[in-house]
Amino acid sequence: MWNNLVLKLILLVGLINFINGDSAPRVVCYYDSRSSLKDGLGKVLPTDLLPGLSQCTHLVYGYAGIKANDFKLSPLISNEELDVNNGLYKQVTSLKTQYPSLKVLLSVGGDADETFEKYLALLESSTGRIAFTNSVNVVLKQFGFDGLDLAFQFPKNKPKKVRSTLGSVWHSFKKTIGAAGKPVDENAETHKDQFTSLVVELKNSFRIDNYELAVTILPNVNITWYFDTASLKNYVDYINIAAFDIYTPVRNPKEADYVAPTLSITDRNVDDNVDYASTYFVANGLPGNKIVIGLPTYGRAWSIEKDATITGSPPIATNGPAPQAVQTRTPGLYSYPEICNMLLNDQNKNLKGELAPLRKIVDSTKRYGLYAFRLPDDNGNHGVWVGYEDPDSAGNKAAFVKGKGLGGVSIFDLSTEDIRGSCTGGQTKFPILQKVKEKLK
């Protein structure tokens, strides 16, 4: 009798949380803990997130990894993360004292943990999956997390070239007959089944504590290969599609193009957009309110050649990543505040060379996305092309999500947002996050 009562209470709590969780769109805010190790403007600590957290339904701490020898959950920065009093894990979950309704999840993988091979090895080992599941539960309980974000590191699709419609059809046919080169994962079908088993095992182990389980699909992972929607839909709280980085200067050093289009673009691969991914999952049985669309708070930047088109309209020939900026300190990667301060303004309008302003091109169709560029000088130097999101474009994407009845938007991530309000003279902090929240209401 007592066991039956406990079971009924668990089911009742689960039902209440299900109803509450689906009553309003999710705003899932990622925090990349590697930013805590940086210096200067790039350094972002958990307490720096506080002004933005009122806009978030979820805060996701990234990233943990897995050990190759025993498949147990492992911190990626250092063991200091696991200090039960003041480690980063504890600092992040302690933010719930100021925002009690905030769900704080721990993310595993996220392209932060070495290579994908050990993740496939985990799937292939039934004992490894058990060890991983047990270790996850220990960490969630010990540090007060509300669940797990499984940002599993599958092999990536091979980099794509911009193709015409006819070229896309021919390429798809070649893939079907095996003429487009060796597949990135010859055992994808087996790995799909094993991933389903892992998700089921995790969720079943979470039920007693009512932990949430999210699955994040990382950029350039084939959604048709690894995700059995019909089998997953009852075991995930939501699936988060990181619908960006379709082109990056590392994957595509010779050609820049829209990095996160909302809708399909003429003469492009038909699956390289937000609409395709969300439509695929709905068509395969996943409820729309379990689909969350991810957008970046950073831009991907290329160095462009002297003979680049004067309009900057992509696709555009490039020379690899653009030089690094002062905050992100990574070639080809600019935070939103770095980009907004590079746009034409009163302070830079007369500057030349590497300090000359970028020209912003707005997408009035709300289809393709936003970009900004600076043509090379007479010597062929200092040309930059960057695809990115700003508050308006992010708001357009949130409106698209709401219009399709999807489950919300995820922000990748708060550490590259304008947390100090530098784009507005200190008047507005977290402007992308705020616009997303406003459009989802």
Name the pairing type of β-strands 73-75 and 103-109.
unpaired
- CATH superfamily placement of domain 24-297+389-440: Glycosidases (3.20.20.80)
When pLDDT is cut at 50, 70 and 90, the band that residue 7 belongs to is very low
For residue 29, give every residue at least 6 positions away whose Cβ sits within 8 Å of its Cβ, in sequence order, or none.
49, 52, 53, 55, 56, 58, 59, 60, 410, 411, 413, 414, 433
pLDDT at position 231: 96
Q: What percent of the chain has pLDDT over 90?
A: 78
What average pLDDT does the segment 342-364 reach?
93
When pLDDT is cut at 50, 70 and 90, the band that residue 68 belongs to is very high
pLDDT digits (tens, 9 = 90+) for 89-144: 999 999 999 999 999 999 999 999 988 999 999 999 999 999 999 999 999 999 99
What average pLDDT does the segment 397-423 reach?
97
pLDDT at position 85: 86
Sketch the domain layout of the chain as residue ranges: 24-297+389-440
Rounded to two decimals, what is the model's pTM? 0.90
pLDDT at position 23: 61
> Reduced to 3 states, what is the DSSP secondary structure of residue 208?
coil
In Å, how far are 174, 179, 222, 246, 358 from 170, measured between CA atoms? Answer: 6, 10, 18, 20, 37
Least confident of 174-183, 299-308, 387-396: 174-183
Say yes or no to pLDDT of 370 above 80: yes
When pLDDT is cut at 50, 70 and 90, the band that residue 326 belongs to is confident
pLDDT at position 439: 97
